[in-house]
Amino acid sequence: MFDQRTLHGAYFALAAYGFWGVAPIYFKLLGHVTAVEILCHRVVWSVFLLLGILAYTGQLQTLRTTPRKYALCLLTALLLSANWLIFIYAIIHDNIVETSLGYFINPLVSVFLGMIFLGELLRPLQWLAIACAALGIAFQVVTYGQLPWVSVALACSFGLYGLLRKSMQLHSVAGLTIETLMMLPLALGCLAWIYRQGDMQFMAVDTSTNLLLLLGGIVTSFPLLCFAAAVGRLTLTAAGMFQYLAPSLSLLIAVLVYDESFGIERLITFACIWVGLLIFSAETFYHHRHSRLGLNPVA
């Protein structure tokens, strides 16, 4: 039987990953706006919303941190903005399937990065899971003659972002606020340049476009706040099980709503990734359960 705290954590996790899963619909509605302008509005309105949340909750002091963490925040801000830009660009150019693949790969990339940068040792079944994912990517390279760069870029940028954020131990909302504040000058500069070029869509097309761009702050912040609430109430293993909901929903939306191609070649690629994730998830659950019981896992 789940206690109330765990149950609430599950609800927050469902809200976060469910929202991320259907987010492509929002960006598709803004398909007539360039990815750069969408990103800039996402940054600008997120700053207002996040600062408002910190002010309302009396947590503005959490924005104060060490010079080293500010420097790391600049790096994470660059990684996050690159991740957002690639994600938006791929969606508005009819490539939701590739974004879905990227976020399926992400957990395995994160484990691999932990081995490289944190000295974490991979267990045999974790190596097998990564090998299955690598096989899927290699098959797509052979089939299409090119690397699925969108998927790899999304997985690697978000994996590196998570690695750095984990080492910083910042307040979740404050960390995102600092990152968006660091992006803000560049975002405002880009908007000014777009306006001077006569390509600005905000306040130039219709009311629905204006409202959608203004909602960029909520689209960015709401799932992150739900995610922060979820991980505070769930074990990392339990929270990790929910992360496959978002790319699964995105994949269904891509194929069923937007009629993106999903032939046998892509099915084989995804099947390799799914097998890898199944092995990884089962091994993680098994190892966590035995460690919690004080037993010695054999793998």
pLDDT tens for the chain, 299 residues: list them. Answer: 457 777 888 888 899 899 999 999 999 999 999 999 999 999 999 999 999 999 999 999 999 999 999 999 999 999 999 999 999 999 999 999 999 999 999 888 888 888 888 787 888 888 898 899 899 889 888 887 788 899 999 999 988 988 888 778 787 788 889 999 999 999 999 999 999 999 999 988 899 999 999 999 999 888 888 887 887 777 666 666 788 889 999 999 999 999 999 989 889 999 999 998 888 888 877 776 766 655 444 43
State the Cα–Cα distance between residues 134 and 197, nearest whole angstrom. Answer: 43
CA angle (285, 291, 294) in 5-degree steps: 145
State the Cα–Cα distance between residues 220 and 224, nearest whole angstrom. Answer: 7
Give pLDDT, residue 238. 67
| In 30-66, alpha helices (H) | 35-56
Residue 261 belongs to what H/E stretch? none
Joined together, the tokens standing for residue 273 give 């990734």
Give pLDDT, residue 299. 39
Q: Is residue 298 part of a domain?
A: no
Q: Are 278 and 231 in contact (CB under 8 A)?
A: no
Q: Is residue 124 part of a domain?
A: yes
Give pLDDT, residue 298. 43
Give pLDDT, residue 293. 56
Q: Is residue 180 part of a domain?
A: yes
Q: Count Cα atoms within 13 angstroms, Cβ side, for 101.
A: 27
Give pLDDT, residue 244. 87
State how many domains the chain has.
1
The domain of 168 spans 4-292
Give pLDDT, residue 296. 45
Q: Which of 181, 164, 185 is nearest to 69 (CA)?
A: 164
Q: Is residue 299 part of a domain?
A: no
Q: Is residue 297 part of a domain?
A: no
Give pLDDT, residue 288. 67
Backbone angles phi, psi at 160, to 5 degrees: -65, -40
Q: Count Cα atoms within 13 angstroms, Cβ side, for 284.
A: 19
Give pLDDT, residue 268. 92
Q: Is residue 264 part of a domain?
A: yes
